[in-house]
Amino acid sequence: MKFAVLVFPGSNCDIDMYHAIKDELGEEVEFVWHSETDLSSFDGILVPGGFSYGDYLRCGAMANQSNIMSEVKKAAEAGKPVLGVCNGFQILTEAGLLPGALLRNKNLKFMCRPVQLKVENNQTFFTSQYEQGEVITVPIAHGEGNYYCDEETLQKLKENNQIVFTYSGENPNGSLEDIAGIINERGNVLGMMPHPERAVDALVGGADGLRLFKSIVKQWRESHVNN
């Protein structure tokens, strides 16, 4: 499986994402600069965290205007897995690939520490290697991770089982219904604030995030390799 790690001016988690795929997962991966106009050769798209364009205007707003985002939308429409983490989640909401928005943390402070997540839906492209209801530890690093949507959207998220991760125990940013990660209705686009790519090796505090990437590869192989 071949992954693209998108790189915008101000991205700072792209190297972590690349390491997770190449060194921990052992899959093919390439960096793709935001000005590129073709993602057709990739099987999965990874939109990393950071401060794209310095978070000017709104987090992710300027990144959404980059050439590469039209290709991300094509990839999503084609059913390819698209993962947006932290600033990547913000970019995916700006692009309309996921509903809702990310607001300033309730305490108005940047937070960087491990948090506990509950796996609310393990029947997705991204979570098949987890147990339903399992609590995992993944770090956060954000100042605008407070997920918000209107009541109608929230009801749809619940009805369609689109809430994939919630904060367990402590809600660090005030997000609605403790939401930490959601998928689109089709199930191939996931946005989450915590950083699974920073939890792929026990030497750096834990490997709970690695199973998310293993889930992607497993699902992709089951649907492609044998066809």
Residues involved in catalysis: 86, 195, 197
54 Rama sector, left if φ>0, alpha if ψ -120 to 50, beta otherwise: left
Phi, psi at residue 182, to the nearest 5°? -135, 160
| Collapsed DSSP state (helix, strand, coil) of residue 32 | strand
Burial class (CB within 10 angstroms; exposed 0-12, middle 13-18, buried 19+) of 203 = exposed
- Are the beta carbons of 13 and 51 closer than 8 angstroms? no
Give the closest residue to 119 by CA, choosing from 138, 105, 135, 139.
Answer: 135
Residue-wise burial string across 62-80, b where 16 or more C-beta atoms lie within 10 A, e elsewhere: bbbebebbebbbebbeeeb
